[in-house]
């Protein structure tokens, strides 16, 4: 499948979808506290998406080849869960960290983003992992611009993570996005600079590094979706959807309460354009 270069009309639709996805994370933030279940967070997000935004929760019943349909509207990955955590009866407790991954569909186009949340007061080690993972995402975003390579993104992320003693999950990656949830290209979060596809204005893809406090090896739980670290170490992930522009990049999943860019975002002086 070829990489899709988006038209101006498609880019505008993606801006809307990206903003709406980010606004779901703004909405749910005050509800992430000790005592709440991940299932309740899913219910709140589902109602907000469907009844307030008029969007469709993309994960609900999503079933790529080889997978059973995903049963919920969001992903909630807690502590050593790396990604694709299924919301349910789990009660969040003080000190937990949780990734909430939101993908909405608005007027046939997808918006995809995730954030880490602290439940109460996390340990210093958990906070450091979340902060470094956030910096990793922005280090990758900073490489985006016409003429750069996909390998530049992965190299920047891997370098920053390993400098801090963390490891990069390699089995999952960012992806192109638009009318389809997952398109080309695949965006690896590790690799060698100057390799893989060259970037061009109009490409839209996610950058969503999964960084482990321990070893990078993972395993899948019996539910067929939830991925956890093999060594039970903590894992963190952040995600933005990014457009390649003539000037550099534009982050499309922006909202009023999203965290500001990390210092790594301007590592090479490229211009950040917010929608």
Q: What is the pLDDT of residue 116?
A: 98
3 located within any domain: no
pLDDT digits 0-9 by tens, 134-156: 999 999 999 999 999 999 999 99
Least confident of 75-79, 135-139, 270-274: 270-274
Q: What is the arithmetic mean of pLDDT over 117-143?
A: 98
172 located within any domain: yes
Q: What is the arithmetic mean of pLDDT over 53-76?
A: 97
Q: What is the CATH number of the domain that holds 111?
A: 3.90.230.10
Q: What is the pLDDT of residue 263?
A: 81
1 located within any domain: no
Q: What is the arithmetic mean of pLDDT over 128-136?
A: 98
2 located within any domain: no
User: In whole angstroms, what is the distance from residue 104 CA to residue 169 CA?
Assistant: 25
* Residue span of the structural domain in which 227 resides: 8-274
User: Of all helices (H) and strands (E), which one includes residue 251?
Assistant: strand 248-251
Specify the number of domains making up the chain: 1
Q: pLDDT above 70 covers what percent of the chain?
A: 96
Give 79's pLDDT tier (boundaries 50, 70, 90).
very high
Contacts for 21 with CB less than 8 Å, ≥ 6 apart: 102, 103, 104, 111, 112, 113, 241, 253
Q: What is the pLDDT of residue 51?
A: 98
129 located within any domain: yes
pLDDT digits 0-9 by tens, 153-185: 999 999 999 999 999 999 999 999 999 999 999
Q: What is the pLDDT of residue 1?
A: 73
> Of 263, 222, 270, 268, which Cα lies nearest the Cα of 249?
270
198 located within any domain: yes
50 located within any domain: yes
What are the backbone angles phi and psi of residue 181, rounded to the nearest 5°? -60, -45
Helix intervals (H) in the chain: 8-28, 38-47, 124-141, 150-163
Q: What is the pLDDT of residue 271?
A: 45
């Amino acid at each position: 499948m070829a990489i899709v270069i988006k038209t101006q009309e498609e880019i505008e639709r993606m801006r809307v979808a990206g903003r709406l996805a980010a606004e779901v994370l703004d909405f749910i933030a005050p509800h992430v506290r000790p005592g709440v279940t991940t299932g309740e967070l899913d219910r709140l997000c589902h109602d907000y998406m469907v009844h307030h935004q008029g969007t469709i929760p993309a994960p609900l019943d999503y079933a790529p080849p080889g997978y059973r349909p995903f049963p919920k509207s969001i992903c909630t990955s807690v502590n050593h869960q790396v990604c694709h955590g299924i919301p349910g009866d789990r009660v969040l407790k003080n000190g937990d960290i949780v990734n909430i991954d939101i993908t909405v569909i608005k007027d046939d186009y997808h918006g995809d983003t995730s954030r880490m949340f602290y439940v109460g007061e996390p340990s210093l080690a958990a906070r450091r992992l979340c902060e470094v993972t956030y910096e990793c995402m922005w280090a990758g975003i900073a490489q985006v611009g016409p003429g750069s390579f996909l390998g530049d993104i992965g190299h920047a992320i891997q370098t920053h993570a390993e400098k801090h003693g963390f490891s990069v999950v390699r089995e999952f990656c960012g992806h192109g996005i638009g009318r389809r949830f997952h398109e080309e290209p695949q965006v690896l979060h590790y690799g060698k600079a100057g390799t893989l596809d060259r970037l061009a204005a109009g490409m839209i893809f996610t950058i969503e590094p999964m960084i482990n406090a321990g070893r990078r090896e993972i395993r899948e739980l019996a539910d067929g979706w939830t991925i956890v670290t093999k060594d039970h170490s903590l894992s963190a992930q952040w995600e933005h959807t990014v457009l390649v522009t003539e000037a550099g990049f534009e982050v499309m999943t922006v909202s009023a309460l999203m965290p500001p860019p990390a210092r790594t975002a301007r590592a090479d002086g490229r211009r950040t354009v917010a929608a």
